[in-house]
Structure 1
Amino acid sequence: MSNAVFTSTFPQRLKVETSILHQELEDLPLSKAILKEDISTRDYMEYLHRMHDVIKEVETLIFPLLYTELSDLSQRIKTPLLEQDFNSLSYIKTQSAPVFKNLDKQISTAFALGMLYVIEGSTLGGRVIYKHIHKTLGYDNQSGAAYFSGYGEETGLFWKNFMTTLVAYEKNHNTSEKIIEGANYTFQAIKTHFQSESEL
């Protein structure tokens, strides 16, 4: 990780100021179900179904705003991984629900980076879930757990590269408030989406 990330206090501030909504999201029944020893295939599919809504919308709305900031953004596309998992598990998704509502028509780069902070953070955490799913359900990145495999062994590196970009952008543009706002908005939107009635 670059010296800028080591010396900046912003990553810690970002983590602290989003911690309440982050924890509330992790405390939801669906979030907890994914890490249970007796996780059911239904709970697993419910989680993937909802994350597909989240990821597809992020990649449609947010990615176009960030290609000039992140040179590896095309490598961060994950909708095909979720759809690969659906195919592996013989699941046909017939319904989708909007996740990110009431967004400004002109989303700033800083706000978009805050949103992506949540998504990339979940990818980093997904490596823990991947090991659990492989242990409990037997799925791997070729048989139903491609999404949680993230970037494989390079997941940590992808996270460091993203944080280097985010810290540099915040330092150069003084946009800490907008980044935090984008992250909190995203945690809240996903939380609301996870609490909605099951579509399975």
Structure 2
Amino acid sequence: MILDHLKTQTTALHKETEQDNLARFILDHSISTSQYFDLLKQNWYAYAKVDQLLNHNASTLPEYLKPFADGAKAQALKHDLAQLDYQTEIDSLETKEMTAAELLGMLYVTEGSMLGGLLIRKNLESCSKLDADFEHHFFGKSPPEVMQRWQSFKQAVSDKEFSVEEQDKAVAGAHYAFMIFKESYALV
């Protein structure tokens, strides 16, 4: 199954990428409002870049993946940042040509990231340095909602057969997405 292959082939890069993620301060309950603001900006940058690539390659995106290329994550981050009076803008347009398998790899990263978001959501309430009046759109998704979307993604992908070359391209797409996140975590 391609999802198992993606997990195996991206585990090391995933761990490496997460080392620079400010979300670690949510997990230890020490995050400040300023750090949370930076975390939201970093995530918005990454998800907006991925969305640009998905939009640019929309004609290549298979029908079964289109429901997951909906821009919802970047929109939720945009709502969160608007509460902090931050105007979201990307200074460069991502226009890399990608295959359907590479796009699948990118979606694997963004959809899977929301599972980790559940752990963050659970710990947000214990972060006493955060502004209590803040409504969390990005990290505010309910566990059943996140799990249903992940199950839908898994089902959509598990019904398909992928060649070795397509699996390799999917891994390359996932690696590219992780590099976008790694780049975003270096911002601010």
Q: Same fold (TM over 0.5)?
A: yes
Name the structure 1 match of 2:168: 177
Q: Which amino acid aligns with 1:82?
A: L
Gaps of 5+ in 2: none
1:92 corresponds in structure 2 to: 86
Give the letter aligned to residue 192 of structure 1.
E
Shift of the alpha carbon at 1:98? 5.3
**Mapping for residues 45-60 of structure 1, pairs under 5 Å:** 45-60=37-52
Kindly provide the amino acid, as one letter, of the partner of residue 93 in structure 1. Q
Name the counterpart of 1:78. 73
Q: What corresponds to 2:117 in structure 1? A: 126
Greater relative contact order, per chain length (Cα 8 Å cut-off, separation 6+)? 2
Given candidates 28, 33, 40, the residue that maps to 2:32 is 40
Q: What is the TM-score of this pair, normalised by structure 1?
A: 0.77
How many aligned residue pairs are there? Answer: 183
What is the alpha-carbon root mean square deviation over aligned residues? Answer: 2.8
1:71/1:195 CA distance change after superposition, 3 Å: closer
- String of CA shifts for 1:113-165, please: whole Å, max 9, x gaps: 1001111111121111112112315679x933110123652211110111222
In 1, Cα distance between the equivalents of 2:50 and 2:156? 18
CA contact (8 A) 1:81 1:146 kept: yes
Give the secondary-structure state (helix, strand or coil) at the position aligned to 1:110. helix
1:71 is displaced (CA, Å) by 5.5
Deviation at residue 46 of structure 1 after TM alignment: 0.5
Rounded Cα–Cα distance in structure 2 between residues aligned with 1:18 and 1:34: 24
| Mapping for residues 103-182 of structure 1, pairs under 5 Å | 104=96, 106-137=97-128, 143-150=134-141, 153-169=144-160, 171-172=161-162, 175-182=166-173
- Checking the alignment, whether the CA contact within 8 Å between 2:68 and 2:153 is kept in structure 1 is no
SS of the residue corresponding to residue 146 of structure 1 reads coil
| Aligned-partner Cα distance in 2 for 1:99–1:60 | 7
The C-alpha deviation readout for 1:25-66, integer Å capped at 9, x for no partner, is 111252423422211111111010011111122223215343
C-alpha deviations, 1:61-94, integer Å up to 9, x for none?
2153436223633666222211221233x33136
Find the aligned partners of 2:153 and 2:5 in 1 and give their Cα distance.
16
Q: Report the counterpart of residue 19 of structure 1 in structure 2.
A: 11
Percent identity for Structure 1 against Structure 2 = 26
- Aligned equivalents of 1:85, 1:30: Cα separation in 2: 16
Q: Which amino acid aligns with 1:91?
A: D
* Consecutive unaligned residues in structure 1, runs of 5 or more: 1-7
Aligned twin of 1:61: 53
